[in-house]
Each structure stands twice: as structure tokens, then as C-alpha cells.
Amino acid sequence: MSSSHQDAHPYGRSADDVRRRNQRLRRTRRLRATQLTIFSILAVTLIAVGVYAVGELSEPVADPGVIAQKPFGDPPVELSCPEPGAVPLPPGEVTVTVLNGTRRSGLAGDVSEQLADRGYGVESPGNTRNATGPATIVHGPQGYLAAQSVRVQIQGAELSLDEKQEGNAVTVLIGDGFSGLEEESAASAALEEPVPTPERC
């Protein structure tokens, strides 16, 4: 006796049903594989962006003339040591930028004018929130004698080394307690005196 279900699957499904089911499974596997690949790429991209962002945010940013904290392990800035008996540079060889860290309006401009009257080149004055004393003179590795030239002009000034300062350009940060410039005659005499030897030399 012939059967009308010769194409029937042994488990009750037709061959077409099985074929369609297998096709659906293959499509599902391909879709999942594609999704997994996309998610993996997105995850790697997000991790890379996160690492970059953390590195950028952790990099210290300083106002002009302020020494940013260097990451641990970086080599120290090399200072160009003066010759024994060296004297401060003449005012005409030094360029000064004065930044006001006090509430006294116009102070940086006034000091800039006074230094210009004494022969220094001056840049446009500005403001700062990073003044830590009455007066700080920030100089670069080659600017020690330039900084000493300005130091003898300003009462109570201290020096600070910043590798970003170039040549004979210095930045003066004026803070609370600033008492003005030295008498011009006393400052002129001090320009003829040998500078102290820096600690790093």
C-alpha cells in the first residue's frame, strides 16, 4: 500500500520545513556574529577614547609663566650655569612680561611701564591666579642672568625655573605683599655685582 507522505521527515516534519529551519538558524548565526563583531569594535574604540581622555585630563595645565607639575620620573630641567663672576644681563637684553595676581587694578601695567623706563623690553601685561608670593620671576634654562637682572629691580623677588620660557624672556608674577621696585640707583649698582651660583650648578 502506497503512502501519500513519502516526503515526510522521520520526526514528523517535511524536508522543506527542515531546510527552512536550517536556513533560519544560519541567518541567525550570521547576524549574531556580525553583531558581536560590531560590539567588539565599539568596545575597543570606547576604551581607546577613554584612555586618551584620561591622559589629556591628567596633564596639568598652567597659566602663562607658571611651572606645571611634571610627571614622576621625568628628567629635571637642565639649567645653563653662569660663568664664575658673571653679572646680570643689561636691561636692554631682557624681555619682561608682568602678570598681576592681586586685586589692585592696573598694577601689571604700572610695573611694566616702570621696567620699560629702566630699559627693559616689555610685553603686554596680564593677570594670573597663580602668584604665590610678593614677586616671582619665572625664567627658562638659558635665562638665569636675565632673571637676575630683573630680580635686582623688584623688592623681595624670588626666581622660578620653567623649561617653557625661552631665551632671555622672563615672566614676573606679582602677588599679595608686592611692595614695588627698588630705588633705581641701588638697582643699577646691583647690576654690576656678580650673581649668586644657582643650586643646580
Rounded Cα distance between 105 and 56, Å, is 34
Q: Residue 70: pLDDT above 60?
A: no
Total domains in the fold of the chain: 2
Same domain, 49 and 114: no
114 φ, ψ to 5°?
A: -65, -40
> Percentage of the chain surpassing pLDDT 70?
80
Whether residues 37 and 125 share a domain: the answer is no
Query: Is residue 84 situated within a structural domain?
Result: no
What are 93-140's pLDDT values in tens digits?
999 999 999 999 999 999 999 999 999 999 999 999 999 999 999 999
Backbone angles phi, psi at 14, to 5 degrees: -75, 165
Local confidence band at 171 (pLDDT 50, 70, 90 cut-offs) = very high
pLDDT value at residue 43: 81
Is residue 8 within 8 Å of 14, Cβ to Cβ?
yes
Query: Cβ(172)–Cβ(96) under 8 Å?
Result: yes
Instruction: Say what the pLDDT of residue 120 is.
Output: 98
Within this chain, do residues 52 and 109 fall inside the same structural domain, yes or no? no
Same domain as 98, residue 44: no
Q: Is residue 32 a contact partner of residue 95, using CB atoms and an 8 Å limit?
A: no
Instruction: Report the mean per-residue pLDDT for the chain.
Output: 83
Q: Is the pLDDT of residue 30 over 70?
A: yes
196 within some domain? no
pLDDT for res 12: 54
Q: Are residues 18 and 99 in the same domain?
A: no
pLDDT number for residue 53: 65
The whole-number pLDDT of residue 135 equals 98
Residue 12 lies in a domain: yes
Q: Do 102 and 50 sit in the same domain of this protein?
A: no
CATH number at residue 124: 3.30.70.2390
pLDDT of residue 4: 46
Within the chain, strands assigned E span 95-100, 121-122, 126-127, 135-139, 158-161, 169-174
Q: Which domain holds residue 44?
A: 1-59
Q: Are 113 and 162 within one domain?
A: yes
Question: Could you tell me which of 75, 65, 89, 66 has the C-alpha nearest to residue 144?
Answer: 89
Q: In the structure grid, which three cell numbers stand for residue 182, read together?
A: 627698588
**Of 127, 130, 135, which is closest to residue 172 (Cα–Cα)?**
135
Regarding whether 105 and 173 lie in a shared domain, the answer is yes
How many other C-beta atoms can be found within 10 angstroms of the C-beta atom of residue 148? Answer: 27
Domain co-membership, 101 together with 182: yes
Does 186 share its domain with 96? yes
| 98 and 25 co-located in one domain | no
Same domain, 44 and 107: no
Where residue 175 falls among pLDDT bands split at 50, 70, 90? very high
